[in-house]
Structure 1
Amino acid sequence: MSHHDRHIWNREPRRLAAFEVAIRDVVGKFGLKFFLVSVFPEAARAGLLDNLITTNWPDDLLQSYRSTDMFTQSNIVAKLKESVLPVSSEQLLFARAERGGVASQIGGVFYDDGFACNVGISPHDAKARQYLFMLSGSDCSNAELADLVFDLMTALDDLTRGSGEIKLLSRKEIECLRWSAAGKSSDEIAVILGLSSHTVTAYLKTAIKKLGVTTRIQAVVAAYRLKLL
């Protein structure tokens, strides 16, 4: 864990250490090798070191990448600005093609170091702050994106959640979350439970508020983590 983490994050060192262990476990679970986690770059704070949370990139590769100042102009950042969906590609995502020779040079270094396959994910925490996860390896065939996103969001939730108590969810709130986790819409859940769509939406909103998150998927992740589902 670099000292830059503590400059960005006013978090307990143990929580940061646990987060890094969790990310390493996820990377290994899905047959990948490298990871870089950062706050999503903004104009006021665009540099890699200004946003970096943790990474296991080789030091020489990290230094080379920083020296090109490509972080905010990279393909992966550009793609994730346009869509909330994960990005998976065997093409180089860490540099822009129009940079010509520089991109080709950096691309060769990445490929040689085992970055042949890359996955980019940009989740939000409960306070709607956006993050960037870049995972890489020689083969992404074992990386089921839905499971990968779930595991990463669980780790992010553990890192960013406050230590306050979670209010107990009602039986109906848990039922609505359980069916939401199964991919059902509010209308479908309403039919299953014999409720109105408005009531289902109200239950889900209440559950989201109690869990201290902002979206349904975050609520599902939090409920699983708390063994409520």
Structure 2
Amino acid sequence: MSAGEEGPWEGSMSADEGRAWDGSMSAGEGGAWVGSMSAGEEGPWEGSMSADEGRAWDGSMSGGVGGPSEGSMSAGKGGAWVGSLSAGEEGPWEGSMSAGEGGAWVGSMSAGEGGAWVGSLSAGEEGPWEGSMSAGEGGAWVGSLSAGEEGPWKGSMSAGEGGAWVGSLSAGEGGAWVGSMSAGEGGAWDGSMSGGEEGPWEGSMSAGEGEAWVGSLSAGEGGAWVGSMSAGEGGAWDGSMSGGEEGPWRAP
């Protein structure tokens, strides 16, 4: 997966047979990623992800032997992350993720013993999140994720007992999502995700019965995605992800 000169991705993102990420993902001078993100033998993230002074990432994100993220993820003064995000022994996220005065996160995000998200994710008056995001005992998302009048999310995001996404994710007139995002009983994405005229997504993103991505993800003239993103039978990405002239993704 690579992008051209104008896109945010100038490096490559690849994986070996058994790994999720064994290669590296990096970007050039004008991209969002100036450092590199790679994974080793043990965990999915053993390398580092960093950026220059004016970038979104000034710190590093690394993982230890046991968990997916036992290190910390932090950013400098001008970045989106001023606090740190770390994980402990049991769950994927037992620490907290917070940001300073100018950051996107003013509250904290934490997880309990068994669930992916048992705590809550909230932001203050200045932040994009004014509601809360929580999960129950067994489900990935049993609670709801909502934002106030000023935030990007005016709808709600919820999930049922067994499915990854059984509810819907929608936003108001000024939000990024005008359509809905839903999933069926067994598949990751059996429904569709689409946006209205004003949103960044004008096409649709859907999946078949057993696959993660069998359909295509495309956007209209003004969207970030002009091409299509599809996958084959067995792998997560057997097809190709490319963008047109207007989009940030160029064909390899």
TM-score over 0.5 for the pair: no
Which TM-score bucket, shorter chain as reference? under 0.3
TM-score (norm 2): 0.24
Larger relative contact order (CA 8 Å, sep ≥ 6): 1
Which has more strand, going by share of residues? 1
Larger proportion of helix: 1
